[in-house]
């Protein structure tokens, strides 16, 4: 057993965003591409019994052009929010819907106004994103810095067409985060679909230089065993969730997107302390956000948390605030 030189105080079993009464927040921008994210958030709020917060952000860096008798930006914003809320209320009458407008940068405002809530839902591309981009800068920013789970929804996503598809969990035997496991199991149980825990690892090419450090001393069977060990407590807690473990040789991105099959939600974790090229998550998560056909949930680890069973895993696998207006709806 690996010795740990520093013991951290144990954290609460459940992350703050799981507390009852916290809302699902969705960014509203008025674009056609944004409709799928709004619909996904409405379904999520209704199924989980949570309120739905519609949040529209006015960019304070844009200078409005004064025109006589022209409608102001905030008046347009409230008109849009009222229209969206009226439509959703007619189809989801049991869901509490709130409307909120913020002034500031999109990503900063979305992160700030969702910080004390359950989750944040955004479209893959916003109104101002170039058509050639697969994912917008706002979506990347909130996925990389939000303190609650962020769900990035593709433009043309249809939940009904994928209602029977499983939830896929991207997992790493060296970086098992309890918050991510719990999120994935809860989503699979609520949707009544199987959970596929998938992991890929690209083998080194013999004689290649430099030899990939992460493959040194790698034991495939021990990695699979450690993943089963990490999943075991959640299998017991969620006995109704059927779990399938997919552990294959190959790049993790290819395994998640090509080999596992279609999904209705793909769940990945993110460590707040990890910084790679300006993003707090690695290339696999960024690649999934760019290319996944399904909604992607990025779940942050709590500050100071220690990934579950990290010590055993390493031993088994050696080498390895804006200004805001608020209006209730």
Burial 17-30 (b: 16+ CB within 10 A, else e): bbeeebbbbbbbbb
Q: Tell me the torsion sign for CA atoms 39, 47, 188, 27.
A: positive
For residue 305, give the 3-state DSSP assignment: coil
The pLDDT score that the predictor gives to residue 226 is: 81
Q: Per-residue pLDDT tens for 118-144?
A: 999 999 865 444 333 334 578 888 888
Q: Is the pLDDT of residue 160 over 60?
A: yes
Q: What is the dihedral of CA 301, 304, 308, 309, to 10 degrees?
A: 150
Q: Which domains does the chain have, with CATH numbers?
A: 16-153 (3.40.50.620), 161-320 (3.40.50.12370)
Q: Per-residue pLDDT tens for 91-111?
A: 999 999 999 999 988 889 999
Question: Cis link prior to 210 (omega < 30° from 0)?
Answer: yes
Q: Per-residue pLDDT tens for 188-236?
A: 999 999 999 988 775 554 444 444 444 444 556 777 788 888 899 999 9
**Residues facing 119 on adjacent strands:** 24
285-288: long-range contacts, CB 8 A cutoff, minimum separation 24: 285/143, 285/170, 286/140, 287/253, 287/257, 288/170, 288/253, 288/256, 288/257
CA 329 to CA 323: how far, in whole Å? 20
For residue 3, give the 3-state DSSP assignment: coil
308 — pLDDT class (breaks 50, 70, 90): very low
């Amino acid at each position: 057993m690996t010795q740990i030189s520093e013991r951290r105080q144990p954290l609460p079993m459940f992350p703050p965003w799981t507390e009852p009464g916290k809302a699902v927040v969705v960014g509203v921008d008025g674009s056609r591409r944004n409709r799928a994210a709004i619909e996904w958030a409405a379904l999520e709020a209704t199924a989980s019994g949570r309120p739905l917060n519609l949040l529209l952000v006015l960019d304070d860096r844009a200078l409005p052009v004064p025109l006589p008798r022209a409608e102001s930006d905030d008046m347009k914003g409230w008109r849009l929010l009222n229209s969206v809320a009226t439509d959703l209320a007619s189809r989801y009458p049991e869901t509490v819907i709130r409307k909120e407008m913020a002034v500031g940068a999109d990503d900063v405002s979305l992160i700030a106004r969702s910080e004390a809530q359950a989750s944040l839902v955004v479209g893959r591309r916003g109104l101002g994103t170039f058509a050639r981009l697969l994912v917008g800068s706002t979506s990347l920013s909130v996925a990389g810095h939000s303190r609650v789970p962020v769900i990035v929804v593709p433009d043309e996503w249809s939940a009904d067409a994928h209602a029977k598809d499983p939830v896929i969990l991207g997992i790493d035997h060296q970086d098992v985060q309890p918050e991510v496991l719990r999120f994935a199991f809860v989503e699979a149980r609520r949707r009544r679909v199987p959970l596929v825990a998938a992991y890929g690892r690209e083998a080194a090419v013999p004689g290649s230089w430099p030899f990939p450090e992460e493959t040194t001393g790698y034991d495939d069977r021990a990695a699979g065993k450690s993943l089963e060990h990490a999943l075991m407590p959640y299998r017991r807690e969620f006995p109704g969730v059927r779990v399938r473990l997919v552990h294959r040789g190959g790049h993790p991105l290819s395994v998640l997107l090509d080999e596992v099959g279609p999904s209705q939600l793909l769940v990945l974790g993110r460590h707040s302390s990890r910084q790679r090229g300006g993003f707090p998550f690695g290339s696999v998560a960024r690649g999934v956000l760019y290319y996944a056909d399904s909604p992607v949930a990025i779940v942050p680890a709590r500050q100071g948390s220690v990934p579950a069973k990290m010590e055993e895993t390493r031993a088994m696998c050696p080498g390895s605030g804006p200004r805001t207006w608020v209006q209730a709806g």
